[in-house]
Amino acid sequence: MLHPSYTDLMKTINGEVEEGDTPVVNSRYSIVLATAKRARQLIAGEEPFVDAKGKKPLSIAVEEFSKGYVTIEPEEEKEESAALEDQTV
């Protein structure tokens, strides 16, 4: 069983979203994708933001999300930052 639960992770990730705004994460699927991506980054050699002794990459990724060390950017922000990068080239 995953600890913290998907529901708890969704609350943490969407915690900074103001009332009435679209939540960053709408489904468990989004959390699964994000934690899997972060786990792959850890496997590739990125440094973890939490104590990683004896833990698997996915467990580390879940802990990082639950503690707020890693966040998920809404799609709008990704598109805007990509557009800004294209303009500066």
CA dist 42 and 36 (Å) reads 10
pLDDT of residue 23: 75
Domain 6-88: give its CATH superfamily: RNA polymerase subunit, RPB6/omega (3.90.940.10)
For 39, the token pair is 């786990």
User: In this structure, are residues 31 and 6 in contact, taking their beta carbons and an 8 Å threshold?
Assistant: yes
pLDDT of residue 21: 78
Could you tell me the residue ranges of all domains in the chain? 6-88
Which residues in the chain come in under a pLDDT of 50? 1, 88-89
Q: With 0.75 as the threshold, say if the pTM is over it.
A: no
User: In this structure, are residues 14 and 28 in contact, taking their beta carbons and an 8 Å threshold?
Assistant: no
pLDDT of residue 58: 92
Between the alpha carbon of residue 11 and those of residues 33, 35, 55, 64, 81, the distances in Å are: 17, 15, 24, 14, 25
